[in-house]
Amino acid sequence: MQMTDHERKGDAPISRRKLLGAFGMAGAAIAAEGLMSASHVGYAKEKEVKAASMPDLFINVQDHGAVGDGVADDTVAIQNVLNASAGLTVIIPNGNYKIGSLTIPAQVELIVQNGAVLRPQAPCTIACYGSFIAGPYRVFDFPYIRNSGTLQVQFQGFRSLEYWLPEWFGAVGDANVDETNASLPVVTGTDSSLAFEECLLAMSQTGVSTMKLNHRNFLFEHEVNVFDGNFRLEGSTHAKFAAVVIGDNPSGYKIHIDTGYLTGKGIESLFVIKHTQPFVGYFGFHIGNCFFRSYLNGPFAAVKVTEPQSPTLGAPPRPCVIDNCRFFKFKKAIWANGLFGIGTLNITNSYFASSEFWGEYYSVYSDAYAGVTNFNFINNVSEQGGRIKFDLVQDPTYGYMGSLEGQFRIEGNLLEGQPNPIVIYSNVASGTIRSNYFEANRDSIIEFHSLGRDQDADGLKEIVSTIDISDNFYHVLTNAQIVLNNCIVTRYDIANTAEIKTCVSGVQRFTVDSGNAKATIFQALGDFCGFSVDFGFLRDNLESAVPVTAQGKIDFNQYGVDLATPLGPRKYSEFMTESPAKAIPIAIQSDEIFIVGAIMKKTMNAANFVGIKIADGSGTVLKTIPPMIKLNDSLNAFTAVFFAVDGTSIAGTGRKLSFFCSQAGNTVTDAYCYTVKKNAAGEQFGIFIK
């Protein structure tokens, strides 16, 4: 087909403003009849646009070989017009057009007028990379019943549409006609029936629906957007979902599905949410009343968030909501994976399960930097591998980070039949784990690790995370323990079971000249707790101190240390201001770090801080660490303290050590010491409270 010179001018598409300017009031009249912006779905209403009156901008396919009688194949004629119409508008007028595969190129606008029906002949692909305009009338007539056992119709592109109207597929909306098959192609058959690739399905009564399909019936690949409409694939055993990337939907939500039903043996990363354009605020998705099932226990997710851009600060967030859904046999049902994964994630009234009790299966999993800001997991059932884990990740610039950042609530859930059902690594998150029912779990029932924050950039991390673990019920547990690391425990209640061991680990770091600790941790944990101090933390800040407050009878033990030597007998010294000097029973080398740990019992309210002095055999003081460990405020309460001292200044034998208080009133119980080479790694000094 030959185009005029005017039609070939320029590379840029002709804007609507230029179009209306060219035709003056005639153009305004056309706009009033319903032709909208080329980047939107337009309503080409009943008044026909006569191409003859606008020969340079509008191309009528019937002027270039298309017949529209439903018999002749109009594919070649229509495609030739589309290929030659960059920057122009192509019109398909009234008629029945038998077509095969068609592609609407970029910078081409296609208007399908009322009365024009496209009848794709299988197998074919309809792709749109330009603009597609049609009003609320029938546009497509698909071969619903004429499935031949092979792929029938495939959609590609259609990314610029804001509306995908059910009327395009025959919906009437008069409450008299059965429109079950009219919302969007409802396909019946026994083989690969319909494929969607890089499409947007929107504002439809049923976004996608299949019924009675038995073998490789649907193929979803790349970017397929469904919002403000249902998504139903029922009766399928071999549906194929592969890397369905969700782009930016006009509704503002990445996914908005209500009443979905998706099953298939080939489900792989059903929805992959990835930002491809700048956006304002955290994105969101809303999935409600949906059923998801993968028959193969695949390694992928039902919803995966990957590599989004950083949200605009101060912009309103959109929550990510999953409510009243069922997830079966996904390795990671909800997976945050990337740089800034999810703002607020709310999961309520849902069910998660795999086919294995002890496998690596998760209801929620995050390995993203700052993966989830706020997390609410309420009134759910998670069993046979439906674990919750916010993992520890390593940032190339900032080092290790947790993947949960803000507030969290894990409440009112049944967590059954899985190892390590709740594991959280965070920098500053605080929250509650309450009123849950734990049954048939093993190993770490709850793990909460807070990495702290360095708010004043002095190199010392401040512990700000709080946790409330209470009112849970524990039943039939194996090797059960609760692990708490670097947090402030506001409430802790495991009174209904004696089989859970509490392991509290972590280090508070202080400067030598600080008069006060930045925080006091592990208050009133009850009768069962334990903790260990990793020497690696101390080695980075020599002559530091680590307080841990607790109640009970305390025994020392060691991990990775050949010898931890007692410093005198138990309860050997009650002192007012300074304890008597006791001999250090081991030699100290200049290439070693000397570690001393002790339990201090506060006997007078005035006693607030503790330090140490190390002297030689003649009493000459070699090293003084001032009173810098804050004691537990409660009278007669215990505080476990640790000091790390560089051996260079105190090397030798026959050294003596004494404790001294800022004010009078303290008792030393259970003092131990040991040395470790400066370049040693992984050494720990621990206690367990019986």
More reliable by pLDDT, 391 or 156: 391
CA-based diameter of the chain, in Å? 114
Q: What is the pLDDT of residues 625-668, one digit of tens each?
A: 777 666 766 677 667 677 777 788 899 999 998 888 877 777 66
pLDDT value at 155 more than 70: no
In 3D space, the residue among 459, 509, 504 whose CA is nearest the CA of residue 481 turns out to be: 504
pLDDT at 413: 95
- Residue 92: pLDDT band (50, 70, 90) is very high
pLDDT value at 106 more than 70: yes
Q: Tokens 């702290």 label which residue?
A: 452
DSSP structure string for 513-557: T-SS-S--------S-EEEEEEHHHHHTSSS-EEEEEE-S-EEEE
Task: Round to whole Å and give the CA distance between 657 and 641.
Answer: 14
In 3D space, the residue among 301, 303, 308, 258 whose CA is nearest the CA of residue 281 turns out to be: 308
Q: Where are the domains of the chain?
A: 529-689
pLDDT value at 72 more than 90: yes
More reliable by pLDDT, 127 or 267: 127
pLDDT at 408: 95
* Structural contact between residues 315 and 285, judged by C-beta atoms closer than 8 angstroms: no
pLDDT at 127: 84
Task: With residue 267 as reference, give the H or E element that holds it.
Answer: strand 266-268
Classify 149 as helix, strand or coil. coil
pLDDT value at 60 more than 90: yes
Q: What is the pLDDT of residues 272-316, one digit of tens each?
A: 555 444 444 445 677 777 777 765 555 567 777 765 445 555 555
Beta strands 684-689 and 554-559, pairing class: antiparallel
The DSSP output letter for 579 is: P
Task: Round to whole Å and give the CA distance between 581 and 568.
Answer: 10
More reliable by pLDDT, 547 or 569: 569
Percentage above 90 pLDDT, the chain:
17
* Structural contact between residues 667 and 571, judged by C-beta atoms closer than 8 angstroms: yes
User: Among 8-17, 61-70, 270-279, which is the least confidently predicted range?
Assistant: 8-17
Phi then psi dihedrals of residue 23, to 5 deg: -110, 0
In 3D space, the residue among 240, 246, 243, 242 whose CA is nearest the CA of residue 199 turns out to be: 246
- Residue 567: pLDDT band (50, 70, 90) is low
Question: Who contacts 309 (Cβ-Cβ below 8 Å, separation ≥6)?
Answer: 275, 278, 279, 339, 340
- Strand ranges for 307-403 from DSSP E: 320-323, 326-330, 332-337, 342-348, 351-353, 362-366, 372-378, 381-383, 387-390, 392-395, 399-402
pLDDT value at 185 more than 50: no
User: Among 360-364, 388-392, 685-689, which is the least confidently predicted range?
Assistant: 685-689
In 3D space, the residue among 662, 674, 652 whose CA is nearest the CA of residue 625 turns out to be: 662
pLDDT at 360: 78
- Residue 210: pLDDT band (50, 70, 90) is very low
pLDDT at 464: 74
- Residue 422: pLDDT band (50, 70, 90) is very high
pLDDT value at 265 more than 70: no
User: Among 255-264, 596-605, 679-688, which is the least confidently predicted range?
Assistant: 679-688
Residue 229 forms beta bridges with which residues?
257
pLDDT value at 76 more than 50: yes
And the tokens for 80?
A: 């030739």
In 3D space, the residue among 143, 89, 130, 129 whose CA is nearest the CA of residue 113 turns out to be: 89
pLDDT at 400: 76
Please state the rounded mean pLDDT for residues 670-678. 69
More reliable by pLDDT, 259 or 366: 366
pLDDT at 170: 66
Classify 656 as helix, strand or coil. strand
- Residue 497: pLDDT band (50, 70, 90) is low
- Residue 255: pLDDT band (50, 70, 90) is low
Please state the rounded mean pLDDT for residues 326-337. 83
* Structural contact between residues 354 and 323, judged by C-beta atoms closer than 8 angstroms: no
Q: What is the pLDDT of residues 507-523, one digit of tens each?
A: 333 222 222 222 222 32
Residue 439 forms beta bridges with which residues?
416, 475
Task: Round to whole Å and give the CA distance between 599 and 604.
Answer: 15
In 3D space, the residue among 39, 194, 57 whose CA is nearest the CA of residue 106 turns out to be: 39
And the tokens for 395?
A: 């940032």
Please state the rounded mean pLDDT for residues 355-383. 82
Most confident segment among 203-212, 224-233, 445-454, 535-544:
445-454
In 3D space, the residue among 60, 78, 159, 81 whose CA is nearest the CA of residue 120 turns out to be: 78
Task: Round to whole Å and give the CA distance between 658 and 652.
Answer: 17
Percentage above 70 pLDDT, the chain:
49
CATH of domain 529-689: 2.60.120
pLDDT at 663: 75
Classify 182 as helix, strand or coil. coil
Our CA angle for 516, 505, 624, nearest 5°, is: 40
The amino acid at 222: H
In 3D space, the residue among 495, 332, 479 whose CA is nearest the CA of residue 419 turns out to be: 479
